[in-house]
């Protein structure tokens, strides 16, 4: 998604530029870009000084406009953040303050008002309403972007995985050599290792986390509004919630289970021994030192493979829950989360490094899908200084 958005931004700013997008898979959106929840976040979780706050707010508006322009379906389901105790009520107020500071429409509603919005919601005294939170089909969005780029003469070459840097701005991708004036690395799970070939991402490594949702298979509709708990700000993820797809299907999740290699979706698919050894080394270090509470966090996430345990996390947010009908697992996704190896902390904001020859999007985690269009414009404005014409081509 980020690569597509950057290519789109480049084409808008430099319409005569020669742009080639190299894609590892046979089509776009085969990994996190097509396996995420499809939620268009509003931008009230993040502190006002963060890139996430700015780009999520603007991205929500931009993505709604993009979907309307291209005739893509949007489920304007809204979101309620609920409280389970007095401490979480204060958490709601903090989220309201952040939303106000970020220019995001949010409203603190009482229990009665919350029940009018979502009859099945359970909350203590108050809930936070986010009226601009919606759901879209992320694969559909990516493919619409792909088609728009192709129509504008951007070359999208599929089946061309990055292999290595050769010299200067020459790279081997697939079995061919490419040379460009500027190389922009939006490789997700592989972004840090690609960047290190160009002398960037020193002191960083990629930590993959597996996300799975538990889907509701009943024919009724248990919810019409997204339900989230107040997040624990000490943890890197938002926690278990009720997500609703663009078609109105309800699911519980996601997990954030530490994965052992980058494409550790199921069984030994995508297995790479060297990746596993490096990731296990850092996971072991985090376990021993319990950095950012990783030990407790990791074991709790592993327990979410137990369907009943996962359901129990979500049950407190609703009045009625038919656990037997939450019985099908979604296709797993892998979150590409950057680890600062010097501080042993997860990088929480978007992170980009580069120069006038290469640019590397190192950390683009949630809400990167929502934020992608304005974030891509920012990357181009900050790093691309009119030198986008290719200095070569495929060899």
Q: pLDDT 10s per residue in the chain (395 long)?
A: 999 999 999 999 999 999 999 999 999 999 999 999 999 999 999 999 999 999 999 999 999 999 999 999 999 999 999 999 999 999 999 999 999 999 999 999 999 999 999 999 999 999 999 999 999 999 999 999 999 999 999 999 999 999 999 999 999 999 999 999 999 999 999 999 999 999 999 999 999 999 999 999 999 999 999 999 999 877 778 899 999 999 999 999 999 999 999 999 999 989 999 999 999 999 999 999 999 999 999 999 999 999 999 999 999 999 999 999 999 999 999 999 999 999 999 999 999 999 999 999 999 999 999 999 999 999 999 999 754 333 322 21
Determine which helix (DSSP H) or strand (DSSP E) holds 225, and give its type and residue range.
none
pTM, two decimal places: 0.95
Contacts 24+ apart (CB under 8 A), 151-154: 152/11, 152/15, 154/7, 154/11, 154/19, 154/20, 154/21
Residue 162: which residues within 8 A CB-CB, separation 6 or more? Answer: 22, 24, 171, 172, 173, 187, 190, 194
């Amino acid at each position: 998604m980020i690569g597509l958005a950057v290519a789109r931004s480049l084409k808008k700013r430099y319409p005569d530029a020669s742009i080639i997008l190299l894609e590892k898979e046979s089509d776009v959106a085969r990994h996190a870009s097509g396996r995420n929840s499809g939620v268009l976040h509003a931008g009230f979780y993040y502190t006002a000084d963060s890139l996430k706050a700015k780009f999520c707010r603007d991205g929500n508006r931009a993505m709604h406009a993009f979907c309307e322009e291209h005739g893509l379906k949007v489920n304007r389901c809204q979101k309620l953040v609920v409280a389970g105790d007095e401490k979480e009520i204060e958490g709601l107020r903090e989220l309201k303050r952040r939303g106000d500071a970020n220019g995001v429409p949010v409203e603190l509603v009482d229990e009665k008002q919350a029940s009018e919005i979502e009859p099945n919601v359970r909350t203590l005294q108050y809930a936070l309403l986010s009226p601009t939170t919606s759901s879209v089909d992320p694969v559909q969005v990516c493919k619409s972007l792909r088609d728009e780029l192709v129509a504008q003469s951007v070359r999208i070459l599929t089946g061309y995985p990055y292999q290595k840097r050769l010299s200067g701005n020459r790279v081997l991708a697939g079995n061919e050599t490419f040379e460009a004036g500027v190389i922009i690395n939006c490789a997700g799970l592989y972004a840090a290792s690609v960047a290190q070939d160009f002398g960037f991402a020193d002191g960083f490594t990629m930590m993959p986390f597996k996300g799975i949702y538990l889907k509701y298979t009943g024919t009724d509709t248990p919810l019409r509004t997204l339900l989230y708990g107040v997040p624990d700000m000490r943890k890197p993820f938002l926690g278990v919630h009720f997500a609703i797809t663009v078609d109105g299907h309800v699911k519980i999740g996601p997990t954030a289970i530490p994965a052992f290699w980058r494409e550790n979706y199921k069984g030994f698919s995508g297995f790479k021994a060297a990746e596993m050894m490096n990731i296990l080394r850092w996971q072991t270090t985090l376990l021993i030192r319990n950095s950012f509470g990783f030990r407790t966090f990791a074991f709790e996430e592993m327990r979410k493979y137990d369907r009943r345990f996962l359901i129990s996390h979500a049950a407190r947010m609703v009045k009625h829950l038919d656990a037997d009908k939450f019985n099908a697992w979604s296709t797993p996704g892998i979150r590409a989360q950057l680890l600062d190896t010097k501080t042993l902390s997860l990088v929480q904001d978007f992170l980009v490094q580069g120069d006038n020859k290469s640019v590397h999007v190192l950390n683009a985690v949630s809400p990167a899908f929502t934020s992608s269009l304005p974030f891509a414009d920012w990357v181009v404005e900050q790093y691309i200084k009119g030198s986008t014409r290719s200095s070569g081509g495929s060899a």
